[in-house]
Structure 1
Amino acid sequence: MNSATLTAAKPETVAVDLGERSYEVRIGRGLLARAGEEIVALAGKRRVAILTDETVAARHLPALQAALAAQGIDAPALALPAGEATKRWERLGEAVEWLLAQKIERKDLVIALGGGVIGDLAGFASAILRRGVRFVQIPTTLLAQVDSSVGGKTGINSPQGKNLIGAFHQPALVLADIDVLGTLSPRDFRAGYGEVAKYGLLGDEDFFDWLETAGPTLFADPIALQRAVRQSVQMKAGIVQRDETEQGERALLNLGHTFGHALEQATGYSDRLLHGEGVAIGCTLAFDLSARLGLCSQEAPSRVAAHFVAMGLPSRIADIPGDLPDDEALIALMGQDKKVQDGKLRFILAHGIGRAFVTDAVDPQALRQSLAQSRL
């Protein structure tokens, strides 16, 4: 994305209405440079500390610290190693102890500058530090802007599974700067797109129709990109407002994740499979399973798979490099999914594109057939 040729788009705001925990998501260009003004308006000149990762720090930390310094705020930063492996107890402990050493108090502010890993870890650290400190999300990946920075899910991984340790802790503000997405590698951008497509697949067929045309242009077209981010955030905000702690409808946001998380665990949370890539494979599997169960048309899974392929994303287990556990082992990994209730695994399936629902009535043989077909 060449910032020199971008057409201007006005920043937009999506409100997340949760009573006393309400906040706004700002979406647009140049928000990182204006972060100081936003932080002062939110917290005055109280103490601020930044949690980030080494890759993001090299690209964006100086600009953020300069924006804060322009408002008289000195903001020290801790840069953790980049990658999913950072979401573990040891790094969480390191972050919390560092925040305590910076004398961050309840009315102060933690800034999460980074992708989903940093956002999840910084949010969890903020949730447990002094029993709750405010934090601001400044997501620097497409995946984080459209999904993980909104909704208050925070946490770390366990050897038993992904995101099994955490807390609901809503941010005080989200600043989604479209410009910073231009520094992403094509693969990271595409992986984030897996979450964008998910929103159309779970609840908005018109959005998915638009993405089939606009998707390939997003990296170069900031107007279309901002629309995709804004529409994704609006959909998530609406669901979170109705079901903040995932007692019902919010589970729909996990379309593709039961499969995807199991595949991420099977690949050791490594760069063999990025999260959004796992979501793309998982969404394709969910629609294939839905068709096998007679819940949707036979054409729907083909359409889903074709779109992910057109976007340069994997759509089959066979697209993952290297060896993988067999189907029974993958099903066992799914058994650690957070949606399991009373020992029964729940799936997000669909009656068609834009018509997802939650069920635990899945024929095990159909599940095995979907997994086997995806390996071919």
Structure 2
Amino acid sequence: MPRIYADNAATTKISQTAMKAMISAMENSYGNPSSIHQIGMAANDALQTAREQIARCLGCMPKEIFFTSGGTESDNQAIVSAAMLGAKKNKRHIISTAFEHHAVLHTLRRLKEQGFEIQLLDVGAEGNITAAQVEEAIRPDTCLVTVMFANNEIGSVLPIAEIGEACRAHGVLFHTDAVQAAGHIPVNVKKQNIDMLSLSAHKFHGPRGIGALYVKRGIELTSLMEGGGQERGKRPGTENLPAIMGMAAALKEECTLMEQNEAKVIAMRDRLIQGLSQIPYSILNGSREKRLPGNVNFCFEGVSGESLLLLLDSRGICASSGSACASGALDPSPVLLSLGLAPEIAQGSLRISLDISNTEEEIDYMLEVIPQVVEQLRGMSDDWRKKHCED
């Protein structure tokens, strides 16, 4: 039986390029980058080279890159920093969307407890917003707009450049969670009018536990922790150089191969969407066009998402029903509910996230197995049979 990994939005397999960079760091750049002896200075040189590689991929300056433990920490630091800057000017209004990652929504919830006003924009049936929505929501006391680059569950790609332009016209800081976008679709912080951007290495074949935060020059960061003076005094702790070098190598490789990889993955994605759309009472979540190259997200009426995943796993298909950060939750996905789906429909969701490592043969297999499993589960449901199979 084949074993198909189709859960790349949760995490990706580390690439050989990233692994080689990490091994090289452990063997040859083992010094502390803060040490002033030659071995330490060699490690610092490697650290700065990695910073330069990531900056080139994002279209910014190396000094605008700060290394963190991942997307969650980057989101927290960006949002808290913007909020603190706003509070100094008596600006406490923050705009975001209803389907952000928990790293953003939970940070905003805490800020609300501290007296900030949080406005979550409606994302509509296709899971997207417009720059006009953002501009209409901006007020004189708005200190931050934080909108994800692409949604982690339904794959919606938002109009980031236009949103950033609207924010810039009103003098409002703009942060985007680009964890799902970086390495998969073009990202250029200057061209897209981005002030702060979060990314995480394990989403583009880098190691886990390492990420980066881009901060436009001139924006004052608030430290989340106290300690040494690493990362220009804004993120204490000895830098995880092997992971940083692995992240830089992975991002550079993905950006170099992006155009050719994107075309292949989109072709597989569209074939899978077309095939699964033939299943009766199926709903494609998100736009057909404005979505990440590898994202396929469906709801199947009359099916439990948990049962669907377990049966697919028994047939060799590894997928998910939504965000990996909410695995084990029995409630319907908040992202799907934000689209206006009924809870009983949202519970029957399936997220398939493809990658260049997937093959056409795997798409064939999934198109054969998934309809069979959906039909099997519907046949086991008394409610489904009463509603659709009895006269």
TM-score normalised according to structure 1 size: 0.39
Q: Please identify which structure carries the higher helix content.
A: 1
TM-score of the superposed pair, with normalisation by structure 2:
0.38
- Find the structure with the greater CA-based Rg: 2
Higher relative contact order (CA 8 A, sep 6+): 2
